[in-house]
Structure 1
Amino acid sequence: MAFSRDLTAPAKASPWVFRIIETTDQANFPMGSWVYQKTPYRKLVIMTADFVTGHHVAGAFRAAFTGAGGEIVKEIYPPLNSADFAPYLTLLTQVRADAVFAFFGGADAVRFVKQYQEYGFTGRLPLLAYDSLVDDVILPTLGDAAIGIISVGTYSPALDTPDSQAFVRDYEARYKAAPSAHAERGYVAAQLVVAAIEMVKGEAGDRAKLREALLAAVTKIRPPRGPIQFDRYQQVITPVYVKKVERQGGRLVNTVIDKIPSASQEESWKWWNK
C-alpha cells in the first residue's frame, strides 16, 4: 500500500503519479483534533509499530492532538512482527492515561488487539486507532476483543449511502464477503482509469492527454466513500470517517459515527513540511 506521505510531497511528487489512497497523515492528523474535540480524553499513550510509517502516523496524530491542547504521556514502539506484546503493554500500568492511540496492521493487529483484551486493558483504556487495526478483513478474527475500538479511515462497508451500499451489494454478490477499505481503493482506482480511457476514446498512447483525462475524470466518478478531488500533486483529497466497532446482526462492523468531509495532505503539512 503506497501510504508514504513523501510520495506526493513537493520534493518527490511527479506529474505522472496519481494516488487515491490517503497519506499516513491525511486521516491521522485530523483524528488527533477530533479526539480532543469530540471525546473527554486529554492524556493519551501512543503505541505503533517501530518503522517509518508507524512514526509518521504517530507524529501526525501527536501534532494535532497536542496542538489542540492534549498531552501524550508516553510513546511505545514495539518491533514489527512482535509475537508477544506483554513487555510493551505492561508499560501502560506505569502512566496515567485516558486512552491509547494505536497503529498496527495484519497479524500484528490481531495479536495486539487480542493481547490488549487478555491483559485486561479493554474497558480500562479505550483504544483509538488508524483503521488498519480493525480492518474489515480481520474483524471476524478479532472477535469481541475489537468491540468499542474507534478508528479513522476513508471507508467502511457500513457507510450508509446509495453509492456505498450499491458497491457492497455488488461486491458481496461476487466475492461472498464484505469489501474492505483496500477493496474500495482498488475499485476507485479502476473507476478513474476506465473513465479517463473513455474520455480519450481509448487512445491512451498520448500521455499528456491521458493525464489531463485522469484529472478531469476524478469529478465524473462516484466513489463508494463519496466525492474526491486531486490536489496540485495528484494526491487525493478525500472524505475521512470516524468509525466504531459494533456487533450488528450477528457480525462485527465498523459503524460510521462521524465524518471529516475533506481531508487534504497539505492541511497536515502544518506540522512536518514547514
Structure 2
Amino acid sequence: MLLASAGEDSLAQAPAIKIGLLLPYTGVLSVQGIDTTNGFELYLTKIGRKAGGRAIEVLKEDDEAKPDIALTKIKKLVERDHVDFLVGPVSSVVAVAIRSYVHEQQTPLIVPVAFTRVLTSPQQASPSIFRIAETTDQSNYPMGAWMMKNTKYRRVVVMATDFVAGRHAVEAFIAGFKAAGGEIVKEIYPPLNTPDFAPYLAQAGAEKADAVYAWFAGADAIRFVKQYREYGIGEKMPLTGHAVLVDDTIMPAVGDAALGIVTMGSYTSTLDNPENKAFVAEYDKRYKTWPSRYSDAGWMTLELIAQALDDLKGDLSHRDKVREALKNALPKLKTPRGHLEFDQYRQVITPIYVTRAEKVGGRYVNTVIERIPNVRQEDVWGWWNKK
C-alpha cells in the first residue's frame, strides 16, 4: 500500500500534460476550428481534465488557416511552451507546410481534419503524425463508383475551392467516377472565400451534365449551396459532393437549400450506435446543437490521446513508446464513428457513410443511406500512388 501510495503521489506531483491546439479560430475555416475545439473540450470535461494520472493543460493557437502563421504558432507551442502533443490543423495547406517541422521535432501530431492525400502517403508519412480524418481519396474516390451504381448520373461537372483540399478531393472523385465508366464534362475551381458564385454557376449551367459534384467548406459551403439553389440549376443538375458541403454544423445556416443533397464522409450525427447517441446527447446538452464531423474529430482526438496516456500510465519519457501507444490505442476505442484502426502509415482505416440531407423533427440532418466499412487509403490511392 505504501508503494502504491508513493506511486500515486508521484503522478499527482508530475507536471501537467500539455496539449497544443493549432486550429483556425478566425477566417473562412473558423467554423471547423471552433467545432473541433468544442468536441475536444467536451471529452476533456468527461475525463475530469486528466489522463494517465496527470492533469491536462490545453494551449490554443489560431493558425488562421495560413501556412506562415501556422509555422510561427507551432514553433511557439513546441519550443517555448514545450507541449507534449499537438492537435491540428484544419487546412490541408497548413498540414503540408508544418509536416517537415513536426517530423524533425518528433512531437506527436494528431490530425483531426486536414485530409490532403499526401500527408500519410509512403513518401511523406512521418512516425510522429497520426491522422484520424479520412484522406481526400477515402471519401471521394468511392463516391464515383457509388454514383455510377446507384444513380443515373453519367456526365458530371465538378466544382471545388481552388486550394489543396478542394482539388485533391475532386481529383479523387474524378478518378473513381472515370474508373467506373463516368464522364467529367467540366472542372471549375473558384478561389477560396468567393463571395459570389454566379459566374461559376453560369459555367456549370451551360453544360449538358446530369449532376454537379462539389467540394466547398465552411463559409464558402454556405454561400455556394444557397446560391446554387437560388441560381435554379438544381432541377437540371442535382448537387452532390463530399460531406463538408452540408456538414451538420452549417446546415442551419444553409436551410432548405441543403435538402436532398447526397454526400459521402466519415461521420454524421445520425449514426445509429450507442457511442454516437451518447456523444450527440452530451454535445447537445452543452452546446444546444448537434455535433458535426469536426466536433466528432475533436472528441476522438482527445479520446485517442487519453487512451494512450492511460496505457503509458502518464510516462512520456520515451518517444518511441508514446508513438506506439498512440497507434495501439485507436482500436481500443469505442468511437461515435465505429471501430477504427491505423494503417502502417498511421492513417485511419474508417467506415465511410453515404448520406442525404433531410429535415427531421425540425432539425436539418444527414441521414445514412449506405455504410461502406473499413476503407483504407491503400484501397483508393492506386490512381496516383504508383509505389
Q: TM-score, normalised by structure 2?
A: 0.69
Could you tell me which residue of structure 2 aligns to residue 254 of structure 1? 366
Distance 1:195 1:41, change over 3 A: same
Secondary structure of the equivalent of 1:172?
A: helix
Match among 191, 205, 211 for residue 99 of structure 1: 211
Could you tell me which residue of structure 1 aligns to residue 378 of structure 2? 266
In the alignment, structure 1 segments of 5+ residues that lack a partner are none
Amino acid at match of 1:137: T
1:199 positional shift: 0.8
Q: What whole-Å deviation, never above 9, does each CA across 1:9-35 have from its counterpart, x for those lacking one?
A: 111111111110111111101111111
Displaced runs of 4 or more, over 6 A: none
CA distance in 2, matches of 1:130, 1:190: 25
CA distance in 2, matches of 1:76, 1:216: 42
Match among 28, 31, 37 for residue 140 of structure 2: 28
1:97 positional shift: 0.8
Q: What whole-Å deviation, never above 9, does each CA across 1:75-103 have from its counterpart, x for those lacking one?
A: 11111111111111111232211111000
CA distance in 2, matches of 1:164, 1:42: 35
**Bigger radius of gyration, 1 or 2?**
2
Matched, 1:74 2:186: yes
Match among 253, 261, 264 for residue 152 of structure 1: 264
CA distance in 2, matches of 1:83, 1:219: 42
Amino acid at match of 1:251: R
Amino acid at match of 1:126: P
CA distance in 2, matches of 1:93, 1:197: 53
Amino acid at match of 2:336: P
CA distance in 1, matches of 2:165, 2:126: 21
1:225 positional shift: 0.6
Match among 1, 4, 8 for residue 120 of structure 2: 8
In the alignment, structure 2 segments of 5+ residues that lack a partner are 1-89, 91-113
Q: What whole-Å deviation, never above 9, does each CA across 1:10-68 have from its counterpart, x for those lacking one?
A: 11111111110111111101111111111111111101111222211111000010100
1:123 positional shift: 2.6
Amino acid at match of 1:107: A
Amino acid at match of 2:366: N
Q: Bigger relative contact order, structure 1 or 2, given CA contacts below 8 A and separation 6+?
A: 1
Instruction: Map 1:56-135 to 2 at 5 A.
Output: 56-135=168-247
Secondary structure of the equivalent of 2:193?
A: coil
1:116 positional shift: 0.7
CA distance in 2, matches of 1:154, 1:71: 26
Whether the 8 Å CA contact 1:122–1:145 is kept in 2: the answer is: no
Matched, 1:214 2:326: yes
CA distance in 1, matches of 2:345, 2:173: 23
Q: Percent same amino acid at aligned positions?
A: 54
More moved, 135-144 vs 211-220: 211-220
Q: TM-score, normalised by structure 1?
A: 0.97
- What's the C-alpha RMSD, in Å, of the aligned pairs? 1.1
